[in-house]
Amino acid sequence: MSPQPHQDPAPPVPADPPHAEVIRTRDLTLHYGAVRALNGITLGIPRHRVTSFIGPSGCGKSSLLRCFNRMNDLIDNVRIAGHCEVEGEDVLGRDVDVIGLRKRVGMVFQRSNPFPRSIHENIAYALRIHGIRDRAAVEETVERSLRAAALWDEVKDRLDESALRLSGGQQQRLCIARAIAIRPQILLMDEPASALDPTATTRIEELILELRRDYTIVIVTHNMQQATRISDFTAFFYLGELVEFGTSAQVFTHPAHRQTEDYVTGRFG
């Protein structure tokens, strides 16, 4: 399926039962030391849809995203209060299986970060840490993930070359391939195309629309057109608060809040 080249908001959303929310947060509040980055976020992310997080820089989009797979654990003196569930299971508790959670909730970062190894090894590493070592299974998965990330044709003859020799856009697609190699249910993408040129961005967007069939995708973006093109739902954040959440059509054409309207029309000051 190929993406509509213009503003028609993402393909129509079939009416889904309301329980189909994979990620649910309630009154989620996050502090870095004394600084409050998120304030009482209550939000539900629908299954097998693309949800965009938009909002001005520093409003807490990345912080929220990193709650979903506990990447905030890496940062000292982060305090999180409230609830956050993935597939109905709490993810903030002390004795959550973080490894298992991250296997189910994959992440693609703003700056592509392939390992300085071969293309093949980048994906094989992801499999190995989850116990998949069987050669045939590894080869099969490497090919499947690279195909899913629309990278296979470009790299199939150079799988043993360093991933760092790929172009920026290819590296980012490799990171996507690596993330989906372990078959997560959810894919978190933090501005995955912000460092890429328009062609590479288009590839990534096409890819997201492809992946939407099998994955729940949450994507942070500063690009309003991108959010309109690829996402079914959009959440607008401002100063750590969730201002508005709805279908992208609604948020972009009939925003309920003044702030949202100002932001999506570019009149934000």
Ligand X SMILES: Nc1ncnc2c1ncn2[C@@H]1O[C@H](COP(=O)(O)OP(=O)(O)OP(=O)(O)O)[C@@H](O)[C@H]1O
Which residue's CB is nearer to ligand X, number 130 or number 257?
257
Return phi, psi of residue 11, to 5°.
Answer: -45, 150
Tell me the closest approach of the beta carbon of residue 158 to ligand X, in angstroms: 33
Neighbours of 60 (CB within 10 A): 23
Tell me the closest approach of the beta carbon of residue 139 to ligand X, in angstroms: 37
Residues in 48-67 at the binding interface with Mg ion, rule: CB under 5 A: 62
Radius of gyration of the chain (CA): 18
Contact flag: residue 122 with Mg ion (CB under 5 A) = no
Tell me the closest approach of the beta carbon of residue 238 to Mg ion, in angstroms: 14
In the DSSP assignment, the letter for residue 15 is P
Tell me the closest approach of the beta carbon of residue 218 to ligand X, in angstroms: 13
Length of the chain: 269
- Contact (Cβ atoms closer than 8 angstroms) between residue 102 and residue 146: no
- Contact (Cβ atoms closer than 8 angstroms) between residue 186 and residue 23: yes
Residues in 99-128 at the binding interface with another protein, rule: CB under 8 A: 99-100, 102-103, 106-107, 109, 111, 113-118, 120-121, 125-126
- Contact (Cβ atoms closer than 8 angstroms) between residue 244 and residue 255: yes
Which residue's CB is nearer to another protein, number 63 or number 248?
63
Tell me the closest approach of the beta carbon of residue 203 to another protein, in angstroms: 20
Site residues for ligand X per CB under 6 A: 32, 35, 37, 55, 57-63, 75
Tell me the closest approach of the beta carbon of residue 121 to ligand X, in angstroms: 30
Helical H runs in the chain? 61-68, 98-104, 119-128, 135-148, 152-155, 168-181, 198-211, 224-230, 248-253, 258-264
Which residue's CB is nearer to ligand X, number 27 or number 160?
27
- Contact (Cβ atoms closer than 8 angstroms) between residue 59 and residue 85: no
Which residue's CB is nearer to ligand X, number 32 or number 152?
32
Gap between the Cα atoms of 34 and 227, Å rounded: 32
Binding mask 158-187 vs another protein (x if CB under 8 A, - otherwise)? --xxx-xx---------x--xx--x-----
Which residues contribute to the site for another protein (CB under 8 A)?
A: 69, 71, 74, 99-100, 102-103, 106-107, 109, 111, 113-118, 120-121, 125-126, 129-130, 160-162, 164-165, 175, 178-179, 182
